[in-house]
Amino acid sequence: MQAAIEAKLTSALAPTHLEVTCSDGNKWAVTVISEAFQGKPLLARHRLVNTALAEELEDIHALSLKTKTPAEWEKS
């Protein structure tokens, strides 16, 4: 599952940084840093990730998301 999530996000959003972790069996936390998020509100960013992972989300119990642009990531 981890490999599938990473592959889907990499091809969909060309992230400069990507972290995919799983806890508690099936609770996933994903951090995506991508230029694709530039100028997009939070809801739109999360929708992009949800769309990329539509197939995986059917089997995932919980998904926690952090979506930032490289510039925002530098600052945090």
Partner 1 sequence: MMIKAAAALSLLSLASAFIVPAHLPAVAPAVAQPRSVLQSTSDGQNLRPDVAEQLELYAAEAQKRIDSMVKENKVMLFMKGNKMFPQCGFSNTAVQVLRASDVKFETFDVLSDPDIRQGIKEYSQWPTIPQLYVGGEFVGGSDILIELFQNGELKTTLESGGAEFVA
Residues that bind partner 1 (CB under 8 A): 42-43, 46-47, 50, 54, 57, 62-66
Instruction: Select 6 or 56, whichever has its Cβ closest to partner 1.
Output: 56
First to last CA, the chain: 28
Instruction: Select 21 or 64, whichever has its Cβ closest to partner 1.
Output: 64
Instruction: Select 3 or 54, whichever has its Cβ closest to partner 1.
Output: 54
DSSP per-residue string spanning 34-46: -GGGTT--HHHHH
Closest listed residue to residue 9, CA positions, set 62, 61, 66: 66
**Min CB(42)–partner 1 separation in Å:** 5
